[in-house]
Structure 1
Amino acid sequence: MLTLSELWIYPVKSLGGISISQSEVEERGLRYDRRWMIVDESGVFVTQRSVHSMALIDVAFSEGGFSLTHRSHSEKSLFLPFQPVSKKVVQVRVWDDELPALSVSDELDSGLSEWFGRSVRLVLMPESSQRLVDPRYAKHNETVSFADGYPVLLIGQSSLDTLNAKLEEPVSMKRFRPNLVITGSEPFAEDSWTNVRIGTAEFLVVKPCARCVLTTVDPLTGETGSEPLKTLATFRKQGNKILFGQNLLPLPGQLAVGDTLRFS
């Protein structure tokens, strides 16, 4: 039996994730997943690829929104409301996509800028902003949040177990920032799936996830090294890409940890 063993959302792109027990599945992914993003003064997205210390900022549900806590600045937390306070429209860029977003609050921007040591802003993707999935893989002009490219990422636990058996020091699943973790499957069985159903939600498996240096950032310390990317490259490289996990396009529904996965 294949089972959904972990369910994760990452409300703010490249900050800490939240382990949840159930979720609504929307066209852009799991509810609240990567609907917010930190940008620099030019409106360009900022991630752990260049700012490793973003791994130290934890996100948790709070009444009316989320609390952000920096493990190196634990004297205060910042509040991120579900609904933006300022609602100022700003143009932002994530990879090659440019789109309008909403500034959340001056107070939040000030606190984050203090943590980052430079001026940054936190923005929300409104429902009116349309960021399209790569047309080479989209089926019906699907949209995506501020995620790198696709609404949902799935990884089998046995795939990570196989990788860890090759590493001197095992890594946690947090390195790969999945939304869905599946137990009970053979290693890399997800590579062969084309359709997945969990709970009342259905997903199309559209392409493998090409991994980058972000996987080398330790989510506990913010420090970086060569693993696990170096070892992954020895047995999961195709062309110039290192593949681990599968990108999914969702159909709306609901799912919960413990739900059975069915595939075709």
Structure 2
Amino acid sequence: MNPAATPAADVQATIEELWVYPVKSCAGIQLPEAELTETGLLYDRAWMVVDAEGEFVSQRELPRMALIQPAFKMGQLMLRAPGMLSLHLALDAAEDPLKVRVWDDAVEAYDMGDVAAQWFSDFLGPDAPAHLKRLRLARFDPDVKRPCDPAWTGGREATTQFADGFGLLVTSSASLADLNVRLVAAGHAPVDMRRFRPNIVLGGVESHDEDRVGAMTITTSDSAAVIEPVKPCGRCPIPNIDPTTAISSPAVGDTLQTYRQDPRLAGAITFGMNAIVIEGDGQILRAGQKVTADWRF
């Protein structure tokens, strides 16, 4: 054996899918390629719907957010929803400063104006509780640094925009296939990956290998990017919401409860890993790129 040879990585995978969710808790966009930034994928959770007090809202309160479908078109974010004319927003548009809250973080942001506010209120307000009848759309201020929890990053500096807490969510197609075997065995219909809202879906690995690896090196056309899974993703009721109909049923959560209780999160059910960006700001990630990692011990 050549002593200078580099040992093969424990895990050899590929990027199978890339997703961004421009408006927090609305539908995602599957992309063939996406730019990696220090906060995650470009435009991921860059916008967020808030109530009159600036508090974020999500599918937890308003399941119909799942029916709002974004798209990128000619320098614009275009939003469609059933029964609504499409809303077009310039990707660099912003209006008045607006202070918003996402979980425990108060964040300086920008209001996206009255037209966007009316659009979201018209679509989501009629079936909403009284305090959620009037909504606004906020844009993350790129000059703001919203830190990830250092207790999970090992004290390393990492930031995100309006995501729940970390810049990236990594899952695998094998993990979804494992869940679907269990769902079908229990008499339920299989589900697709939209339920879990990942950014990067890995192929070529075993079920939940993403839980067990350290830093992941992604071979790009220019160099390499490095991301690191740091925290299991605890799951709220959102995976129970059918992204096509916005109707909730408990089958997914009930099934996960039987085998995915995670002691790292005091027994909460988990699916996928939250990850941070270590290297590669500005690199282009593409479906099919090679991903390598070693087991975490």
Q: Shorter-normalised TM-score: what interval?
A: over 0.9
Q: Which runs of 5+ in 1 are unaligned?
A: none
Q: 2:270 aligns with which of 237, 240, 243?
A: 243
Q: Distance in 2 between matches of 1:97 and 1:110?
A: 25
- Aligned residue in 2 for 1:155: 171
Secondary structure at the aligned position of 2:79 is classed as strand
Structure 1 residue 56 corresponds to structure 2 residue 67: yes
Q: 2:289 aligns with which of 248, 259, 264?
A: 259
Q: Distance in 1 between matches of 2:247 and 2:174?
A: 26
Structure 1 residue 137 corresponds to structure 2 residue 152: yes
Task: Quickly say closer, same or farther: Cα 1:149–1:85, change in 2 above 3 A.
Answer: closer
Amino acid in structure 1 at the alignment position of 2:209? A
Secondary structure at the aligned position of 1:262 is classed as strand
**Length-normalised TM-score, structure 2:** 0.85
Secondary structure at the aligned position of 2:206 is classed as coil
Secondary structure at the aligned position of 1:165 is classed as helix
Q: 2:56 aligns with which of 45, 60, 64?
A: 45
Kept after mapping to 2: 8 A contact 1:84/1:105: no
Structure 1 residue 18 corresponds to structure 2 residue 29: yes
Q: Which runs of 5+ in 2 are unaligned?
A: 1-11, 126-132
Structure 1 residue 96 corresponds to structure 2 residue 116: no
Kept after mapping to 2: 8 A contact 1:84/1:103: no
Q: Distance in 2 between matches of 1:254 and 1:247?
A: 20
Q: 2:238 aligns with which of 189, 208, 214?
A: 214
Larger Rg: 2
- Aligned residue in 1 for 2:130: none
- Aligned residue in 2 for 1:124: 139
**Length-normalised TM-score, structure 1:** 0.96
Kept after mapping to 2: 8 A contact 1:84/1:104: yes
Secondary structure at the aligned position of 2:159 is classed as coil
Secondary structure at the aligned position of 2:87 is classed as strand
1:38-79, CA deviations, whole angstroms, 9 ceiling, x for partnerless residues? 0000000010011000011100112221111112x14x1111
Kept after mapping to 2: 8 A contact 1:94/1:146: yes
- Aligned residue in 1 for 2:3: none
Q: Distance in 2 between matches of 1:42 and 1:62?
A: 31
Kept after mapping to 2: 8 A contact 1:24/1:30: yes
Amino acid in structure 2 at the alignment position of 1:9? V
Q: 1:77 aligns with which of 82, 86, 91?
A: 86
Q: Distance in 2 between matches of 1:230 and 1:128?
A: 41
- Aligned residue in 1 for 2:189: 169
Moved over 3 A (4+): none
Q: 2:251 aligns with which of 201, 213, 227?
A: 227
How many aligned residue pairs are there? 261
Q: Distance in 2 between matches of 1:85 and 1:34?
A: 15
Share of identical aligned residues, percent? Answer: 38
Report the CA distance between 1:105 and its aligned residue: 2.2
- Aligned residue in 1 for 2:114: 106
Q: Distance in 2 between matches of 1:191 and 1:135?
A: 19
Q: Distance in 2 between matches of 1:96 and 1:176?
A: 22
Q: Distance in 2 between matches of 1:144 and 1:125?
A: 10
Report the CA distance between 1:207 and its aligned residue: 1.3
1:226-248, CA deviations, whole angstroms, 9 ceiling, x for partnerless residues? 02111001001023310110111
